[in-house]
């Protein structure tokens, strides 16, 4: 019997089509048949790579997490301290189509999975933020004794709230993008200002 070869590029093409579909139309409308149509392949091609919808959605959530992590890593680059923390935060904000798609995928999948595929990546992001805020304290950009767990919690709440709002209300997303940039710039300026006031 000839073993079927699975082409990773074809599989990824299907995952990306399902990612777009899940963001645009939601979990219920993301059927194997609809994904096949979005990808321009047969339903058999989809089932060749994914046994069922649950397996496909899991692959989409993994892809979504990788996209978000890559955006954060690109935003931070080789920076450290307060600048890196600010960029790690901005890397998750839904200020462009790709990051907005990430948030819409998390929202669409939230009911099917208690975390919507978000929890693990969220903890990684918090660790990155903690690392760079600790660097900012060590480098003298932030005052010693700053309540870092509280500051991380504030930033996380602001990021998640912004993502949820942007992902659920498309009519105000441009206004929200501008407001998000301003809110986070003001918050980081306030943090930086605490050092000079100390």
pLDDT digits (tens, 9 = 90+) for 110-145: 866 545 567 888 889 999 999 999 999 999 999 998
Q: How far apart are CA 17 and CA 38, in angstroms?
A: 6
Q: How far apart are CA 189 and CA 186, in angstroms?
A: 5
Whole-number percent of the chain with pLDDT over 90:
65
Average pLDDT over residues 42-60: 95
pLDDT of residue 152: 95
Q: Which two tokens stand for residue 40?
A: 């321009």
pLDDT of residue 116: 56
Backbone angles phi, psi at 135, to 5 degrees: -60, -40
CB atoms within 10 A of CB 143: 14
- Beta-carbon contacts of 122 under 8 Å, excluding residues fewer than 6 positions away, are 115, 156, 160
For the stretch 3-37, pLDDT in tens is: 355 667 899 999 999 999 999 999 999 999 999 99
Q: How confident is the model at residue 176 (pLDDT cuts 50, 70, 90)?
A: confident
Q: How confident is the model at residue 2 (pLDDT cuts 50, 70, 90)?
A: very low
Say which residue, 198 or 134, is predicted with more confidence: 134
Q: How confident is the model at residue 195 (pLDDT cuts 50, 70, 90)?
A: low
pLDDT of residue 115: 52
What are the angstrom distances between the C-alpha of 96 and each of 56, 58, 131, 163, 178? 25, 24, 26, 12, 11
For the stretch 74-104, pLDDT in tens is: 999 999 999 999 999 999 998 888 999 999 9
Q: Give the domains, in start order, of the chain with CATH numbers.
A: 8-197 (1.10.357.10)
Q: How far apart are CA 34 and CA 15, in angstroms?
A: 12
- pLDDT of 47 > 80? The answer is yes
């Amino acid at each position: 019997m000839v073993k079927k070869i699975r082409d990773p590029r074809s599989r990824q093409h299907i995952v990306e089509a399902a990612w777009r579909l899940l963001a645009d139309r939601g979990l219920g409308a993301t059927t194997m048949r609809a994904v096949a149509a979005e990808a321009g392949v047969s339903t058999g091609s989809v089932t060749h790579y994914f046994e069922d919808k649950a397996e496909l959605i899991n692959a989409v959530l993994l892809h979504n997490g990788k996209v978000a992590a890559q955006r954060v890593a690109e935003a931070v680059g080789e920076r450290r301290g307060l600048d890196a923390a600010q960029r790690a935060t901005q890397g998750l904000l839904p200020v462009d189509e790709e990051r907005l798609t990430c948030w819409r995928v998390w929202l669409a999948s939230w009911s099917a999975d208690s975390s919507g595929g978000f929890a693990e990546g969220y903890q990684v992001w918090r660790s990155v933020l903690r690392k760079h805020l600790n660097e900012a304290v060590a480098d003298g950009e932030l005052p010693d004794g700053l309540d870092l767990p509280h500051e991380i919690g504030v930033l996380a709440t602001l990021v998640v709230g912004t993502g949820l709002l942007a992902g659920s209300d498309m009519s105000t997303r441009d206004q929200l993008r501008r407001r998000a940039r301003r809110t986070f710039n003001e918050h980081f300026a306030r943090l930086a200002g605490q050092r000079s006031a100390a």
